[in-house]
Structure 1
Amino acid sequence: MLINDKVAIVTGAAGGIGAAVAQRLLEAGARGVLLTDLDAARLDATVQRLAESHEGRVAGLAGDAGDTEHLRGLIAAAEEGFGPVDLYFANAGISGGAGLDATEEEWERALDINVMAHVRAAKLLVPGWVERGEGYFFSTASAAGLLTQIGSATYAVSKHAAVAFSEWLSVTYGDEGVRVSCLCPQGVETELLMAGTRSSDPTEQAAARAVLDAGNLLKPLDVADEVLAAVGDERFLVLPHPQVLDFFRHKGSDYDRWLRGMRRYQKSVR
């Protein structure tokens, strides 16, 4: 899909990958980009920064990307300000280092934000895209959604589910004009990752070290370049860290050997 003259919504867009994707969309000629995030002050600052170069084509609406009513408001605001939504970037997410000690609330929160937020947005947008014969759903998952996440069951499971939902969307609606991509990066220089390095929780520290030690740390704008290239190619799996594909192939070729290797790696970062 060409970005020029298209309308996009980006969640989790106050900083990191979301803000970088919004910037690249505007630079590629998007007619309008609506940003959303829970952090209203940070979101406003990002919108103001982007508006300096793209006045009249960017706006923000703070709120919870997992809340259906907020999603309805986002879509309505985008349509009123720019026109029908062509692309939706489900980028908002949370990390956390919870294992078997995770509470029911922690599981619910991870699944709500990392998975159900995508499901709720798709329920609102996909039927209209099918009628129009075109639309694009872009999901930010993680390499943890293809492999696993040392230290965090809630993150690993919810990101696997995000990948699975994206696959299902593509299989179910791909022949009806709905394009789907799924981003699965490793280490990206974002507050989400760096917060783990500052955590007092040993499990969260181990989870962050596992990501940082696994490969090169990318800048959000570098990831955004990969995102836009994937949209242009209408490519499903987006891997800014090429080694993730090698790890994924090793996993599939010999699951037991891969599990043994992951257990050894887990010991090295704890």
Structure 2
Amino acid sequence: MELAGRCAVVTGGGHGIGRALAEELTARGARVVVADLNVERAQKVAARVGGIAAACDVGSQDAVNDLVASAEDAFGPVAVFCSNAGFSDTGDGLQVSAEDLRRIVDVNLLSHVWAAQAVLPGMLDRGAGWLIQTISSAALITGPSFMGYTLTKHGALGFAEWVALNYGHRGIQVTCLCPNAVNTGMLGRNEDDEDDEHDGAAGRPDLSALGEVVEPEDCARQALDAAQTGRFLALPHPRVGDSFLRKATDYDAWLARTNQRLQRMRE
């Protein structure tokens, strides 16, 4: 995976893990297109890394196609596509409206499909390409996340496996980043602190109650290390892999334990 001078696209690149991926890709020599629904944040990150910004709603297939076309016009064929954008639903999943359910499916699941449809033909012609997908530990070990988030993350992992199985022998590397808690704006990190060498620790909320919380920079580094060494999973929280193994070993016991844990959390 030689990145020097090659085109990389990061969706949801204006903040959090996406911002860190854009910075890490740049540090490794890539030319980065920073895409985000919030174009002002994308522009801020793009200016920092010497890339270009693009407004993109990944819930729209046309928007994803336009993003890839713009990236290739600017920096040449897309060598790395980081499908990072996503969001979580809230509330009682069984009461979700059809409109809200379709939206989270489009953003968290189908955006991966649309990205692959847009970049894989060229990657296959060239015999190499990297798809890096930010999914979640929720794809491996269902926990307290909401229904729409859970089902779309499971689906995204299944799609990634399908691509790896069908195109791995043709030079396509798929890597899924599956973290648990990450210190991003969702947990109160001030995204505007990023200009100070990612310092900004002062004033951040106390996250100790969440257990192990990793930094987005760690996630980005581990995702690219995994991609460059041909690994499918990048697990910034090693205990996620341990839990996944216990789940596979005794599914019923895992369901019972997790059910009890969720009840205690809700109480």
Please report the TM-score for the alignment, with normalisation by the length of structure 1: 0.87
Aligned residues between the structures = 248
Matching residue of 1:234: 230
Task: Classify the secondary structure of the residue corresponding to 1:65.
Answer: coil
Which runs of 5 or more structure 1 residues have no equivalent in the other structure?
52-57, 196-210
Shift of residue 23 of structure 1?
0.2
Shift of residue 255 of structure 1?
0.8
C-alpha distance in 1 between matches for 2:142 and 2:209: 15
**2:176–2:223: 8 Å Cα contact kept in structure 1?**
no
Matching residue of 1:205: none
One of 78, 95, 106 as aligned partner of 1:101? 95
Shift of residue 142 of structure 1?
0.4
Shift of residue 107 of structure 1?
1.3
Alignment identity in percent?
A: 38
Q: How far does the alpha carbon of each residue in 1:70-100 deviate from its partner, in whole angstroms, 9 at most, with x for none?
A: 2222222211211111010000001122421
Task: Classify the secondary structure of the residue corresponding to 1:247.
Answer: helix
Matching residue of 1:15: 15
Q: How far does the alpha carbon of each residue in 1:165-196 deviate from its partner, in whole angstroms, 9 at most, with x for none?
A: 0000000111111111111100001224559x
Which runs of 5 or more structure 2 residues have no equivalent in the other structure?
190-206
Matching residue of 1:201: none
Matching residue of 1:45: 44
**1:66–1:120: 8 Å Cα contact kept in structure 2?**
no
Matching residue of 1:165: 159
- The amino acid that maps onto 2:67 is L
- 1:245 counterpart = 2:245: no
Task: Classify the secondary structure of the residue corresponding to 1:136.
Answer: strand
Find runs of 4+ consecutive structure 1 residues off by over 3 angstroms.
192-195, 211-215
Structure 1 residues 1-270: aligned runs within 5 Å: 1-30=1-30, 32-51=31-50, 58-98=51-91, 99-194=93-188, 215-270=211-266
Q: How far does the alpha carbon of each residue in 1:87-141 deviate from its partner, in whole angstroms, 9 at most, with x for none?
A: 1000000112242121112211111100100101111111221111111111111
Q: How far does the alpha carbon of each residue in 1:24-73 deviate from its partner, in whole angstroms, 9 at most, with x for none?
A: 1101111x10010101222222222333xxxxxx1011121232222222
Please report the TM-score for the alignment, with normalisation by the length of structure 2: 0.88
- The amino acid that maps onto 2:7 is V
**2:60–2:106: 8 Å Cα contact kept in structure 1?**
no
**1:187–1:212: 8 Å Cα contact kept in structure 2?**
no
RMSD over aligned CA atoms reads: 1.7
Shift of residue 213 of structure 1?
5.2
With 225-234 and 64-73 compared, the bigger mean Cα shift is at 64-73
